[in-house]
Each structure stands twice: as C-alpha cells, then as structure tokens.
Amino acid sequence: MGRVTERRRTLRIRDGAVTARPDTLAAEEPLEIRLNGRPLAVTMRTPGDDFALAAGFLVSEGVIGSADEVRSIVYCAGAVDEGVNTYNVVDVQLAPGVPVPETGLERNVYTSSSCGLCGKASMDAVRTVARFPVADVPPLRVSPTLLAELPGRLRAAQRVFDRTGGLHAAALFSQTGELLDVREDVGRHNAVDKLVGRALRDGRLPLSRAILLVSGRASFELAQKAVMAGVPLLAAVSAPSSLAVDLAAESGLTLVGFLRGSQMNVYAGEERIALGSSAREG
C-alpha cells in the first residue's frame, strides 16, 4: 500500500553550513480509475482515501449521486506485468440499472495533479448537468467574521502538511464554522474529490448546508465540483479564475477568494454573506 509520506536524502544548506539528512516528502503516485472494468481516468494523487477519491470523481462527472448507485469499489489485483498489486488501480462497479456514461467521458490521457481537466475535448464537455442544484433553503448566511476564522482552522487540521509542507487541503465546515471533514492531497481537485466521495458514501449528499474551503486557488474545476455536490459556498485562500466566477454566477454558487485574515473578495453569490450595513460599492 502506498504511503502518505516518504523519506528522501537531502542536502541542507543553512547560512553556509551544509548537512546531509533525510527529509519527509508528500508521496505522489498515479491512480487509474476504472468504471465497470474499463479505464476512465488517471490522476496523480497522494495515496489514501482512494475509494473516496474515485467516488468523488464520479460525482463531479455526473455519473453517480448516491451510494446505492455503486455496487463495489475495489483495488485491481495484478496491476503490473509481474502480477503484483500496486494499489494504484481501482475499479468502480455501478449498481444494476445505473447507466454507464458514453465514451465521451473517457480521458485516455495523463492527468497531472495540478489540472484535472487535461484531456477534456472542450469546455462544453465540462459543463456537466448538476445532479444537485445549489438550492439551500433557507439560504445559507455566513458572516465575514466567521469566514475569516476558517483558514486557521483548516491549517490547524493539516497534519501531513506539518510534516511535508507540500500538500493542498480541502475542508467542509458547517454554517456555524464547525469542521466537518478535511482531506489533503498533492492535487487540490483530488482533496475535494476525497471530501465529496466520503460524503457520498456516508449518505450526506447534497452538501446543501456546508462551506467548502480550499487551500489554494479556485479553478473552474473546483467550482464545478462544489456545484455538483450541492455546496452553496466555496471559499479559497487564493485567487479564482474568470471561468470559475462565471460558473458560480450561472449556478448560484457563492464564491469567495483571497480569504486571508479579515480580508476577502466576494465574486458571486454575495447574498449569502451577512454584510450588515457597512457594505458599499467601490
């Protein structure tokens, strides 16, 4: 089984002093996701929560929306020529009657840990019809003060980051700021898939009362994953992309970027932010 971290020899130079010592690094290995035995996608990920990652990926692609649509998720034996199980290939078997997506979903290309969209034929193929429309009723209302506290809570929960300094993180919070779940991975989209996959397997989809916080930027893909899971508010400590803002505005998602301390930018869905009487146009 792959490890979350690995040790490598490194040469450390500090103020002219040179020492050799082992360093702890975040592990990165490929994961091939198969659907009913057919290769579907390959992503570079940090080993761990692989079944949740596969399930979350299928949620984000609109293939499944509930745990009873999955018959099984297993590691494939004999994943290499020598017949050794590398635990780097998982096969998701859909439940009887669940339609298998058309071949247009397949990504028979290498997908890097920084971009889960590589290999999509077009942006139109990414605009998957959401199984769970963003429909938080009554609407979620979150104060800027509460939002400002969330990055610190996420950072405090990043156990592997403390050892490696090399992982992205994604977390789900309640509307009162309670940390519900947190996942780490070399790929920010993988971390979100792990969150969504665990929520699916626990019967918690749609996540209509949750806040999704990511440790990096808010790309189109992360906004898509939030929408597909029914999340009403996505916050990021860094910048969003223009396409992420467009998708948020079209879908009703609240998108917050540059969430650092008491500062933040609200790019879409400002009705969920309890601004009080101090808000004004700039």
What is the DSSP code string of 65-105? Answer: -SGGGEEEEEEPS--STT----S-EEEEEEPTTPPPPPGGG
Q: How far apart are CA 11 and CA 113, in angstroms?
A: 26
In contact, 122 and 220? CB cutoff 8 Å = no
Q: C-alpha 144: how far from its chain's center?
A: 23
Query: For 35-67, b where at least 16 C-beta lie within 10 A, e where not — what string?
Result: beeeebbbbbbbbbbbbbbbbbbbbbbebbbeb
Q: How far apart are CA 95 and CA 97, in angstroms?
A: 6
Catalytic residue among 67, 98, 105, 115: 115
- Number of residues that make up the chain: 282
Cα dist from 252 to 57, 125, 178, 234, 239, whole Å: 22, 20, 23, 11, 19
Q: How far apart are CA 195 and CA 190, in angstroms?
A: 9
* Residue position matching structure tokens 């993988």: 190
* Cis ω before 138 (30° cut-off from 0): yes
115 is catalytic: yes
Catalytic sites, residue numbers: 115
